[in-house]
A and B are shown apart, each in its own frame.
Chain A
Amino acid sequence: MTDKTLPRGTSGAPPARFDGDKALALVCVGVPLIGLVLFFLYPMAIVFLRSITTVDGEYGLSNYAEVLGSSGFWRATRHSMIMGGATTLLSVVLGFIIAHGLYRCAFRGKRLIRAVIVLPLLAPSLVQALGLIFLLGRNGVVNQLFGVEMEIYGFWGLLIANTLYALPQAVMIIGAALVLLDARTYEAAEVMGASPMRQFRDLTLPAARFGILNAAFVVFIITITDFGNAAVIGGDYSVLATEIYSQVIGQRNFNMGAVVGIMLLLPTVAAYYIERRAMRLQGRHPVNAQRFVPRFTPARDLPMAGLNLLICLAVLSVIAIVFYASFVRLWPYNMSLTLKHYDITLAGGYSSLWITIWISLAAAAGGTFLVFLLAVGLRRAPAMLAQPLQVLAAMPAAVPGMVLGLAYILTFNSTATPLYLLYGTAALIGIVNFYHYHTQAFLTVMTGFRQLPSALEEAAGSLGAGLGRVAVNIIAPFVAPMLISVFFFLFMRSMVTLSAVVFLTTPDLSVAAVTIMRLDDAGLTSQAAAFSCCVMAVVAAALLGMKAILAYLGRNAGTGSDG
């Protein structure tokens, strides 16, 4: 479709802008901005107030002094930074290998790789924890088979767990940079006799830099804020998220936890600024992008296919072993198979599954739309507004889910504002899910937009198309693959995320992740695993269904969609 709207002679046409266009740009920025302010900035302001509320109920910095004066905090900070760095390095390298394999190489089975690589996103955190322990634990399959006793609890276990969880997100963002790389540049390079290695170094890497930096940023942030992995596999390797848990849950001291929560924003903002600075050195992307279709090159594709396969096998084995274990009578002591763990009656049984699907679909649809609006709006917004807005939009991932969930209680359980109407509703759960993952969604779409040739948009504009038409007819189809991955990402995470939601459920309104937690709390770990498998099956079925619909729509519209 791009060819039809390509520029012809555009020199003479004056930019035909109407006021309506400006208004639309304002709406594009304004609506997502209002959302960010109400559902992120406002709750975080309350967290900040709590962090400076002392024991006597007055405002002061004594909480900060206490936290900064404790050796535990500095140990956890050091651990978090090392862990964040190591996970970032590993995830971005592996993520690049996968994304490069998927979008720049020619081999079979990409669909399978794409399906496997997202598994950690649609798996409840319990699955990954159990999988790693069943596989690599002291009494795990590997140790049993080889008669060794490998120690997984601690740095290495945590690194593996964090990487598994971060990898699909790195692939999503780096993929957004690679999928749209202009084919013509490569043709030109080919004609000029540049070797594949040279093409990779001089074309692919620089072009993917935005994606790589964004991915690194996201991975670092989600690693330093994640509590689940640290709790189950981190052993004694205390990190900042465990510090927060200990304060907020263990000692019922939200104000002290809030201090650490606020401090977590600092490395985030710093990392984001460093990233933006690095980005400025890089120019914009070539003009007329055309989808790159890689040809089979054995020297490149065979090793890439091998690496991809290996990474996917590792990811798959962790999930598969839990799937298998959900049918095992008593892992690891009675390995006979049974369906009994699927007979779930406690903790509300399967009833929470259906409402969770609706909430997740709403969060994904609404979220994707808002992020798209924001990205479109940012292209037109003055730098003065655009820059702080970008930082704000990239920040939510820096807030641990636990802090966000409690912040939502403090904010929305107050009759002082009409927002109180949201408290205890499914809508608020959908909203917290979206804002919890706002960063990833936003940066993926931004990475995709980066590849959008601005000439295309300008040309369309100069031909008289208003912003609305440009957005719908030119930008949206171009970034459609990103929007689809963002939609699926938000859907999958909303289905299984627990940390924030657990504080917002009510007696009448529970979600699947909470049921899993309750089953596990009751000691019924196998049932929790069985329920998790049902959730994964439902999510997978929903994804396949949606892909089928997209493929059908794509065919009817005459464009292929392979998101």
Chain B
Amino acid sequence: MTTPVSVSRITASLLALGLAMPAAAGELTIYTALEEEELAAYTEAAQKALPDVELNVLRLSTGKLGARILAEADNPQADLIWGWAVTAMMDPRILEMMSSYEAAGVDVLPDRFRDPENRWFAPIGYMGAFCVNKPRLEEKGLPMPTSWADLAQEGFKNEVLMPDPNSSGTGYLHVNAVLQSMGAEAGWAQLEAVDPNMAQYTSSGSKPCKSARIGEYTVGISLAFTAMQSIQEGYPLAMVFPEGGVGYELEANGILSSTDNAGDAQKFLDWTMSDEAIALYGEYKALVTVPGVGQSEAAAAAGLPEDIGTVLADVDFDASAKSQVETKKEWRERFGR
């Protein structure tokens, strides 16, 4: 039955298989909440640095990603989590799913930017900001707000938007920063003072800025990323960091212990701390926790100070993660609409 032709065909296909094998060595499924533009740049560079590993990246917003990871918890689909809010990562149910790995080069990070058990580390982060619509501010004859206290002025009645901390991580980022930087009592009093001026508490973190940029409202308490992107596009926005410090969030990386490709996953994590990766962070990020990284052009153009530390609130992420549930609950009781 076996003819010479089929034998040679089998040999050929075996050969082809043999040749194909090393190329298909590894595949990684990566879940991320990084922003599209930086994500495209990082992924391209990482893929070049790891040509033998096929990088399959799924991008979802922080909240949706969390819901998905937890729903998949019994049979996790991802090998890695990349660039995801550390406040979400520190959820005990998530930490339980992560494995411990000390990525090469991670030791340059200050302790507060990495898990003591090496389940995550965060070389980058993002910050909150006020998005102020300049034409609308002028039209209403209002002064440029520079602090949370300014937003409590009479003139800002129904002109301020902010995300609901119960729906949005960005909302929690701001509330937590106010509470931690002012102290609980003064913090709640400050939020109480601004509450009557809040036109809406939105469910999305970027929506306040997007509403402010098209002139629907004067101030959107939102993200610096959205503010900078809007300013770059030409919207007449001012990005303001409130005096006393603005909230920020770290973007953490880690490996799921369920992965069947730990070797490649570790290589990928090593890459996220490589010089190449760090240089890219410097291009795209306002907030890089790796010491000694210069300011990005976009950040400078948008008016970010060179030493970012001067505008950041003093945030204790461990305490923030622990008090999360209580804080959200109390916020809801005070301000839920």
A residues with CB within 8 A of B: 71-72, 133, 137-139, 153, 231-232, 235-236, 238, 242, 245-246, 248-252, 254, 329-334, 346-347, 406, 409-410, 413-415, 424, 502-503, 505-508, 518-519, 521-525
Contact = CB atoms under 8 A, between A and B. Distances in A.
23 contacts: A72-B336, A137-B216, A242-B167, A246-B166, A246-B203, A249-B63, A249-B167, A250-B203, A251-B325, A252-B66, A252-B70, A330-B235, A333-B236, A346-B36, A413-B74, A414-B75, A503-B64, A503-B68, A505-B58, A506-B56, A507-B30, A507-B58, A521-B36
B200 A406 contact: no
Interface string B199-240: 111111011011000111100000001100110011110000
A236 B336 CA distance: 9
Contacts, number: 133
A523 B210 contact: yes
Nearest to B215: A139
Given A505-B58, A523-B209, 10 more contacts: A138-B215, A246-B167, A250-B63, A251-B328, A347-B59, A406-B71, A415-B75, A502-B64, A506-B77, A507-B57
B217 A503 contact: no
Nearest to B217: A138
Interface secondary structure of B, over-half rule: mixed
A329 B233 CA distance: 9
A250 B234 contact: no
A152 B91 CA distance: 38
B320 to A, nearest CB: 15
A235 B200 contact: yes
B203 A231 contact: yes
A346 B40 CA distance: 8
A133 B207 CA distance: 13
Contacts of A521: 36, 61, 206
Given A248-B67, A503-B64, A508 B75 contact: no
A515 B230 CA distance: 20
A88 to B, nearest CB: 24
A57 to B, nearest CB: 11
Nearest to B88: A252
B95 to A, nearest CB: 13
A409 B40 contact: no
A211 to B, nearest CB: 35
A515 to B, nearest CB: 10
Interface of B: 29-30, 35-37, 40, 56-61, 63-64, 66-68, 70-72, 74-75, 77, 88, 91, 93, 135-136, 164-169, 199-204, 206-207, 209-210, 214-217, 225-226, 229-230, 233-236, 325, 328, 332, 336-337
A294 B67 CA distance: 54
A413 B258 CA distance: 14
B223 to A, nearest CB: 9
Of the listed residues B72, B75, B166, B214, the one surrounded by the most CB atoms of chain A closer than 10 A to its CB is B214
A183 B68 CA distance: 54
Nearest to A152: B216
A250 B164 contact: yes
Nearest to B30: A507
Nearest to A138: B216
B168 A250 contact: yes
Of the listed residues A235, A238, A250, A414, the one surrounded by the most CB atoms of chain B closer than 10 A to its CB is A250
Contacts of B209: 523
Contacts of B60: 502
A153 B207 CA distance: 13
B274 to A, nearest CB: 22
A522 B332 contact: no
A18 to B, nearest CB: 47
B202 A231 contact: yes
Contacts of B203: 231, 242, 245-246, 250
Given A235-B199, A249-B64, A502-B64, A347 B36 contact: yes
A95 B201 CA distance: 33
Contacts of B202: 231
Contacts of A245: 167, 203
A153 B217 CA distance: 11
A139 B218 CA distance: 11
A523 B206 contact: yes
B77 A424 contact: yes
Given A246-B203, A252-B70, A413-B71, A139 B63 contact: no
Contacts of A505: 58
Contacts of A518: 36, 59
A72 B203 CA distance: 15
A331 B167 contact: no
B215 A332 contact: yes
Contacts of A329: 234
B29 A507 contact: yes
Contacts of A334: 234
Contact of A410 (B64, B71, B229): B71
B210 A525 contact: yes
Contacts of B206: 521, 523
B216 A413 contact: no
Contacts of B214: 133, 137, 139, 331-332
A225 to B, nearest CB: 16
Contacts of B61: 521
Contacts of B70: 252, 254
B270 to A, nearest CB: 21
B198 to A, nearest CB: 9
A164 B276 CA distance: 50
Contacts of B169: 250
B226 A523 contact: yes
A413 B36 contact: no
Nearest to B232: A523
A518 B64 CA distance: 12
Contact of A246 (B40, B56, B66, B164): B164
A145 to B, nearest CB: 15
